[in-house]
Structure formats: C-alpha cells, structure tokens
Amino acid sequence: MQVCRTCEASGKCGLKDEGLFDLCPKMKIVEEPGKVDTQNEIRPVIDHSILRRYFGYSEFRPLQKDIIQDVLNGKDTLVLMPTGGGKSLCYQYPSLLFKGLTIVISPLISLMKNQVDSMRMNGIQAEFINSSLSYEEVTKIKSALVQNRVRLLYIAPERFTIPSFLSFLKGLKINIFAIDEAHCISEWGHDFRPEYRQLKQIRQYFPDVPIIALTATATPKVREDIINQLALIDCRRYLASFNRGNLVYYVKPKQDAFSQIVEFLRTKPGESGIIYCYSRKSVEAIAESLKIAGFRALPYHAGLSSNVRSQNQEKFIKDDVEVLVATIAFGMGIDKPNIRFVIHHDLPKNLEAYYQETGRAGRDGLKSECILFYSYGDRQKIEYFINQMSNEKERQIAQNKLNDIINFSETALCRRKLLLDYFGEEFKENNCKGCDNCLTPKEEMEATGEIMTILSSVEEMGERFGINYVIDVLTGGKSSRLLGNGHESLRSYGSGKNLPKKTWHGFIRELIQRGYLNVEGEYPVLKLNQKSREILSGSKNGSKNEKIYLVKPRITEKPVNEEHSADDGLFEKLRALRKTLADAGNQPPYMIFNDATLKQMAARRPCDPVDFRKITGVGDKKLEMYGGIFIGEIRRFCEKQEPSVYQEKKQTNEFHPVKKNSSETVTLEMLDQGLDLDEITLKRNLSLNTIYSHIEKLILAGENIDIGKFVKKEKIETISRAILELGGETLKPIKDMLGDNYSYGEIRLVRARMTKKG
C-alpha cells in the first residue's frame, strides 16, 4: 500500500486520488500481500478499480489482462489485435502503475494528439513532442518529464535520429517503450516506413527497458520481421482474432457505382463514413457530386494543401461533415470510433490494405458496413502498374497480393473465412452471418448451355479478345471495332441476346474463378484451358457433358439496415448534446463519449450518478465533467415520455443534483450572489469564454439561468433566427453570418437555451 506521510493521519491523499503516488515527496511504502519486493522495488499488480476509474470499464477484453501482466513483469511483447480491439489499453493501463515514464512511438502527429487528448479526458497526464510544437513548448514538456509529472510521452520515430534527444531520454526513468503501428518497420508489410528502422536503437541505448510492439495487420512473415528488427528478447506473442464480428462485408459489381452509393447513403442519415478512391481525380469528382446530391462530404488527398487536409479531417472528426472521400493518404491517424461505413469505390491493391481500411469502421463495436465495388477494369489498372516494376521479385509479390484481393472479390464463399485465412486464422463457422455471401447465399442455376455459348465464342475468336469484347459479340453489338473485324458473321454473334450484358459479366467472372477460363496478357484476353477444352471436346464428340451450375449474378441489393432501437429518440438527443459540448470545448464528439456509450445510456436511461457511473466508458473524470449534463438530458426525456414515473422518482429523491464543488457550480454560486461576468472572470482568474462555457453547461444540466442578464434581447432573437436557419450543430457558420458584433459565448448561451427547451 502506498500512503503519503503528510496525509496518513486524515486518511486523505490528493495525490493518491489522482493515481500519482510517486509525486508526493513524503511517500512511504507499506508492502501488501501479493506484491513482490525485488531489490527494494515494488512490482505493481493489476488493480481492477483503476480500470473502472480511468477508463470506465468493468472488465478487460480478451488477452488484455495477460498482456498487461507481462508488461508489468518487464517482458518484451508482440501484440496483434484488430482495430478497435483494445491495443492502446495494453500500455496505457500499466503507465498508471509504473513509477516512471511510458514512451509511445507513433507514426503521425494527428494520431499522437488524439491519443493525448483522450488520455487527458480520462484524467491521465500525457504529452507529445513533435514538429508541431515550438521550442518553448518542448522545453516546458521536458521540464515536466524531468520532474516525473508525465505518465505517457508520445513521440515520432524520427526523434531517434537526434542525438541530443536520445541523451535527454537516457536521463529519465523509462519503464517501457510501446511501438504503435509496428508493421511499419517491415519491408514485407504493406505500409513500410523507413524512419521506423531507426527504432533499432532502442535496444542499443536502452538495453534493459522492455518493448511492446503493437499492430492490427501483420502476416506471419511481417511478425517475424518486427521481432528481428526490434531485437525483442524472449518475446511473448499475443495474437488476437483478426475477426471483426461487427463488420459486414459486401462486394458489388461496379456498375453505376455512384448511384449505388447515393442510394446507400440515404439509408444512413447523419452517419459517418469514408469512401476510398484510387485517384485524386476520382476523390474530387465524387466529393463534388455528393455535395450536389445534398450530402455533407469533403475530399482528402495528398494533392490538397496540408492546411486544407487538416481542416477537412478536423470537420470529419468533429461530425461537421458525415462523409470523407479520400485516397489511401487518409486513415492511419484517425481514432474516430463511430465510423459506420467504409466504401471502396475502387479495388484496393491487396488484402492487408483492405483489412486495415475497413478496420476504421465500427471501432466502438457497433455494427458497421464495408462495401467494395469491383470491376475487371480496376484489376487491369493495378496490373498495368505492377508490370512497370523493374524488380522481378517485387513484381511477383505485388501480383500475388493482387490475386488474393481478386479472389476475395469474386468468391461465392464466405468472405470473412477467406479474409481470416489470409492472416493465418481458421474460421470454423459455416455461416459468418456478416457478409453478403452468407447473409443472402447466391442462387445457383444450371448453366451448361450458357457456359458452352461463352467457351465456343472464345474459341471462335481465336482466344484474342477480352471480356467486354466477347460480351459485345454475344449480345449482338454494333461497335466499329466489332464490325471492322467482321465478327458480326460469327456463329456466336448475337447468341446471347436473351440475357443482359451484366448477366454475361457475372457468368464469365464465375468461370474464371472456378478455373474454366484463364485471363492472360498485358491487355487481358480470355484463354481456354484444359478444363474448358475438355468440355468443348465432349460437346463436339457428342458426349453428354455433366450439368454445370453457376451462381446467378446479383447486380444490386440493399445492405441490411440497422435495426432501429426504441430509444433512437433519446440517442439522437444525447448525440446532439454531445456535439454541442464538443463544439464548446473545441474537441471531437467521440472524446466525450463514443456511440456505444450513448446507446447504452439510451437503453438504460440512468437518472442518477450511481447508475450513470455503471455505463461502460464512464470513468470518474467524465462522470465529474459530464454526468450532470447528460443525466439532465435523460431526465428531461424521461419526464416527457413517462411523466408519472419521473415524478415518482423525483419525489423519492432518486435524482441527484450536479456534482458539487465542480468549477461550474462555483460559477453558479457567484451568479446567485449577483456578480456579473466581469467580476466572476476577475475573481476566478478565468477567461470570459470559460465562464460562458460554464453557464452553457449549467443550462444544459437543467439550471434555470436567465441568459437575458448576459445577452441583449434583440441579440437573442437574432441569434435564435440564425440557429433555426443554419442549424445549431456548428458555431462558425452562425458566427460568420452574424458578424463581429456577436461573440461565440453569446451564441453558445442562446443555443443551450434552445436545446433545453427543445
């Protein structure tokens, strides 16, 4: 047990309450059963109360506890967990038990900032050092590190090329290095980053500090490379299932893909999603077309200025726009848990990229959809670039990876099973209930006649033409090329007029997948093989061929919609409240609570702090900051829905007021004393914006505050009209419309009053 001598008599310890035992200069340590004293050093043990207190969880996810125990025991560890599986907790939790510093290597500035903001929201002191900070800011953080006032430090791999920074680190007490996105260190991975090679120096400069390497995507070969490159010793390996059970996979023919996207988006009003495209030109075109169609969408690609990219990403993260249309330049730094869909407008280069990109959906564990539009033309584009590679080995690796994603796209079997098999994991279920092939098994039809028609046509044209040309001949096309070749006189010309072109496309793709046809050449042409020649030979000899069945092509289908909860109304109100608070604090909504937590609130309707504390994702810090506000919203909803029940609870004092002694209640007390805003800001040494924020939160929590004391009547009316016209989701459009005579604080108060009344 750890107790401050200065606080021992009273039994109260502020530092202990914050979990920062080692910061007290008058600390004594009393050994408890179960703790090991090795060379006068107490080895920490897992404490579930810390999990609930700081992270809001009542129990660990699979493997987390074992991983954390190895980390606490100083073991090198390799962790493979799918996106959203809880990798970060494996080093964030131990940082609260160690006396020193946990250093996290992260590849992107935006990822660092999101992680640090999230830790601070949970009451954990974290910092980052990167190129976005000034010299003075870095100096201040270094001072805090020297004084042991930081639990987690996030840095980029490039920092290990700076000798002075390495020297500085050697002067700190470092407990563990956590390497996030560890697959970036491997040349065999899909996202190799040369700067990650600098991390070899960790073992050289810090031989006794354990390392935990974490990634969501790594084939067996990449795993071995990570261990070798980082020189992990007696490495403990943890391989969580790659199965993202909440994701539903669809592959659709790329025919009028934009119309299919629009139809899909109309079933997902207000939901966040990413649309991935192969080229910048496609990104711009689709983003603009979606805007014209009435959707809030923005582009993201490397051709935009860094400022525009940053702004667009920020708007997406803060739910100011629902759809981001992007190239693969977007994604790794995104920690947005409520992405409900990922659409691939174009074919990804390999299954690793596809898995990682789809993995950005549903990180909160709620059902999300992944749609891939597949066309043979996309395959040809990628093959063209592969063929330009000068290194034969690299070319063959790329071609093999492309073949895997093509097989995934064309299979009639369970897509989840195929995807997991690629990463070396066996999926034993016969039906995953989470891909189009399992949800709606494709109907088969006896297609011996259609197959003979296709094979005969390919043979008659000398195996010199591609899919589209063959279909053009079958359906009696009139293209100048076809007529110029004289192919309107072929026996097979027009023999397939009875079926649409898209049906013949489906048949031919199926024949290729099942090995009845080959596709060869730089400009791919259909070729017969032994299997198809035997069928043709049997037909010519009068032999009776065995009946052959093919999947009946399915061109369009509507994805399975989310079932609407009876509490959708409350969920939407909570989501709107979260957005208001996020805007007031200039932070992403998910930093407050993610969608899964809000849905749990909507289902359980906690109307007092005790029940609210039981919601997954509600830790002590968030209970203090937001408990009263969200409880107030839930209470108002319950009062409207079930007034008799609400009044009964109110009379029995089941509802509790906002937590006392918070910064907001101090402001409320001063308002009750009749102090004006200037007097409060002076006495509290706080900015006017902060006081406005306090009043906004108090109004949303249910306090009866007359905003007429702070905002003139005519301004209230003007702001109200602007909010009704533009909507209250974001402040900037309202501020731009009203001009400099109106402050953000005034707009916040009016919006809060309107939200409460609504």
53 vs 658, which has greater pLDDT? Answer: 53
Q: Of 36-40, 244-248, 446-450, where does the model show the most confidence?
A: 244-248
Q: Which two tokens stand for residue 415?
A: 């897509």
Q: Is the pLDDT of residue 126 over 90?
A: yes
Do 457 and 465 contact (CB within 8 A), yes or no?
Answer: no
The pLDDT mean for the chain works out to 81
Query: Is the per-residue pLDDT at 559 higher than 50?
Result: no
Q: How far is CA 634 from CA 272, 582, 609, 678, 757, in A?
A: 24, 18, 12, 33, 14
Q: Is the pLDDT of residue 241 over 70?
A: yes
The topology (CATH level 3) of 247-439 is Rossmann fold (3.40.50)
- Percent of residues, the chain, with pLDDT higher than 70: 85
**Is residue 64 predicted with pLDDT exceeding 70?**
yes
Position 653 scores a pLDDT of 42
- Highest-confidence segment of 53-57, 210-214, 480-484, 555-559: 210-214
Q: 669 falls in which pLDDT band (50, 70, 90)?
A: confident
According to the CATH classification, is domain 44-239 in 3.40.50.150?
A: no
| Same fold across 44-239 and 461-540 | no
Window from 667-671, 748-752, 754-758 with minimum mean pLDDT: 754-758
The pLDDT score that the predictor gives to residue 729 is 66
Digit-coded pLDDT (tens) for 354-406: 998 998 999 888 999 999 999 877 887 888 788 888 888 778 778 878 888 88
Task: Work out the number of other CB atoms within 10 angstroms of the CB of residue 501.
Answer: 15
Which tokens is 197 given?
């090679």
Task: Kindly indicate the confidence band of residue 544, based on its pLDDT and cuts at 50, 70 and 90.
Answer: low
How confident is the model at residue 568, as a pLDDT?
A: 59
- Residue 519: band (very low, low, confident or very high) from pLDDT cuts 50, 70, 90: confident
The predicted-structure confidence for 276-298, as pLDDT tens digits, reads as follows 998 899 999 999 999 988 899 99
Average the pLDDT over 675-689 and give the result: 78
State whether the Cα torsion 463-466-471-477 is positive or negative. Answer: negative
Supply the pLDDT for residue 723: 78
Count CB atoms within 10 A of the CB of residue 689: 14
Query: Where in the chain are the domains?
Result: 1-43, 44-239, 247-439, 461-540, 568-757
Residue 20 has pLDDT above 70, yes or no: no
When mean pLDDT is compared over 145-159, 502-516, 704-718, 740-754, the highest value belongs to 145-159
What topology does CATH give the domain 568-757? Answer: Arc Repressor Mutant, subunit A (1.10.10)
pLDDT value of position 32: 32
Query: How far is Cα 76 from Cα 629, in angstroms, rounded to an integer?
Result: 43
Q: 């969408």: which residue's tokens?
A: 297
pLDDT at 648 over 50: no
**Residue whose tokens read 């050093």:** 41
What does R_g of the chain's alpha carbons equal in angstroms?
Answer: 30
Mean pLDDT of 504-510: 81
| Per-residue model confidence as pLDDT tens digits over 67-107 | 999 999 999 999 988 776 788 899 999 999 888 899 999 88
d(CA 416, CA 408): 9
What is the predicted pLDDT for the residue at 432? 92
Question: Tens of pLDDT along 325-354?
Answer: 998 767 655 778 899 999 999 999 889 889
* Residue 3 pLDDT grade (very low, low, confident, very high; cuts 50, 70, 90): very low
Q: What is the mean pLDDT of residues 153-158?
A: 91
Confidence of residue 624 (pLDDT cuts 50, 70, 90): confident
> Which one of 3.40.50.970, 3.40.640.10, 1.10.10.10, 1.10.10.60 gives the CATH number of domain 461-540?
1.10.10.10
Distance CA 630, CA 574 (A): 7
What percentage of the chain exceeds 90 in pLDDT?
A: 25
Q: Is the confidence at residue 725, as pLDDT, over 50?
A: yes
- Please check the confidence at residue 63 and state whether its pLDDT lies above 50: yes
Please tell me whether residue 733 adopts helix, strand or coil conformation.
Answer: helix
At 545, the pLDDT band (50, 70, 90 cuts) reads low
Q: 546 or 273, which is more confident?
A: 273
Contacts 24+ apart (CB under 8 A), 483-492: 487/461, 490/457, 490/460, 490/461, 491/456, 491/460, 492/453, 492/456, 492/457, 492/460, 492/461
The CA distances from residue 274 to 114, 248, 282, 353, 645, in Å, are: 19, 15, 14, 14, 42
